[in-house]
Amino acid sequence: MHVPAGPYPPGQPEPEEVEPPVHPQDPAPVVARLRAAGCVFAEDEAAALLAAATGPGSLAALVDRRVRGEPLEQVLGWAGFCGLRVVVEPGVFVPRQRSTLLVERAVALLRGSGRTPVVVDLCCGSGAVGLAVADALGPVELHAADVDAVAVRCARRNLARVGGSVHRGDLYAALPAAVRGRVDLLVANAPYVPSAAVALLPPEARDHEPRAALDGGPDGTDLQRRVAAGARSWLAPGGTLLVETSARQAPLTATAVEAGGLRATVVRDDERDATVVVGTSPRTPVSESSRCAVTHAVTIRDGSVT
C-alpha cells in the first residue's frame, strides 16, 4: 500500500500503512451509484462523500452506507444548521432546516436583553437548536435535555463549545431544580408525527432515526401537551416557550400552550414549511395571573413578521 512521503513529527514513528489520498478522484462512479439508489442530489452528495473520505476504502464504506439509505448527515457525521457544523452520530435525529425558525424566533426574543439569558433546549437531540441560539447570542446559560443516551452523548459533543450543560431524562425531570422559575427561553422540538404517519415517513427517517424522536402519539401532540403543561413553572415571569409543530397541528399545539397558562401565537413560514407556537408567560408569578384564551396568527414574509 502507498505511504505518502513525510514529513512526520520528529521522534514519532512513521505510519506503517496509510491509504492513498482519495483526491483527485472521478466522482462519476459515485454519482452513478447514488443516483441509482434514488438520491436526488447525487452530485452534491458525491462531492460531500468524496471530501469526507480518507481513502478509497473509506469512500466505499461511506457510499455503501448512503446507498443502504442512511441519512447523508449520519454518514458524514455532521449536518449544516444555521451556518454551523453540528455533529450527528448514527441513531440521532438529523436537525431539519425548518427548525431554523425556532432559532430565529429565539434570537429575536432574547437579543439585547442586557444580561445572560437562561435557555433550555428540551428534547434536544444533537443539541443543534440550543447550539445555534447560543452561537448567535453570545453568552447564555444553556441547559439541554433528552431522554435518549445517544442523543445526550452527541449533544455534549456539540454544546461543549458554548459551555452548555446536557442532562438525560424525561422532559423536565432531567433539569436541575435550580433552573425552575428562571428560564427566559424554553425551546422544544419534541416529536410530533402522529403515530400512524410514522410508517409513511421517508425510509431515512423511519429506519435510521429512533421512533421516540418521531412519534408524537395518536394526534402527534402527546409530548407537546406535556411540554406545554409544565412550561409555566420553569419559565421566568415574562419568559417564552417556543414549540415546533406542523401547520395542521398548530391549533392543537396552541390550545395545549394556552391550557398551560401561556398566551399562544402561531408563527408560520411557508418557504421552510415551518410552524412555531410561541407561548408567553405572564409577567406576574404563576399564582397571581389568570389564563388567556386568544390565539393570534403571525406569518413570515420576506423574512419579516406580519
Ligand X SMILES: C[S@@+](CC[C@H](N)C(=O)[O-])C[C@H]1O[C@@H](n2cnc3c(N)ncnc32)[C@H](O)[C@@H]1O
**Shortest distance, position 1 Cβ to ligand X, whole Å:** 40
73: three-class secondary structure by DSSP: helix
Q: Which is nearer to ligand X, 42 or 140 (CB)?
A: 140
197: three-class secondary structure by DSSP: helix
**Shortest distance, position 146 Cβ to ligand X, whole Å:** 4
Q: Which is nearer to ligand X, 30 or 129 (CB)?
A: 129
What residues numbered 163-202 form the site for ligand X, per CB under 6 A? 170-171, 189-191
CA gap 288, 7 in Å, rounded: 71
Amino acid, res. 250: A
Residue 162 has a CB neighbour count (10 Å cut-off) of: 18
What residues numbered 82-111 form the site for ligand X, per CB under 6 A? 93, 95, 99
Q: Which is nearer to ligand X, 110 or 155 (CB)?
A: 155
CA gap 81, 208 in Å, rounded: 19
DSSP state of 167: E
198: three-class secondary structure by DSSP: helix
Site string for ligand X, 208-247 (x = CB under 6 A): ----xx---------x------------------------
Site string for ligand X, 17-36 (x = CB under 6 A): --------------------
Where does residue 63 fall: left (phi above 0), alpha (psi -120 to 50 degrees), or beta otherwise? alpha
Among 42, 49, 120, 126, binds ligand X (CB under 6 A): 126
**Shortest distance, position 9 Cβ to ligand X, whole Å:** 39
CB 158 within 8 A of CB 78: no
**Shortest distance, position 216 Cβ to ligand X, whole Å:** 9
Choose among 205, 194, 274: nearest CA to 242: 274
DSSP state of 41: T
Among 128, 154, 250, 267, binds ligand X (CB under 6 A): 128
DSSP state of 21: P
- Cell 390550545 belongs to 255
Q: Which is nearer to ligand X, 31 or 122 (CB)?
A: 122
> Is the bond preceding residue 24 a cis peptide, omega within 30 degrees?
yes
Q: Which is nearer to ligand X, 59 or 215 (CB)?
A: 215
Residues 6+ apart with CB under 8 A from 249: 192, 219, 220, 221, 224, 275
Q: Does 134 bind ligand X (CB under 6 A)?
A: no
Query: Which residue's CB comes closest to ligand X?
Result: 125
Site string for ligand X, 143-162 (x = CB under 6 A): ---xxx--x-----------
**Shortest distance, position 106 Cβ to ligand X, whole Å:** 12
Question: Which residues are near ligand X by CB under 6 A?
Answer: 93, 95, 99, 123-126, 128-129, 146-148, 151, 170-171, 189-191, 212-213, 223
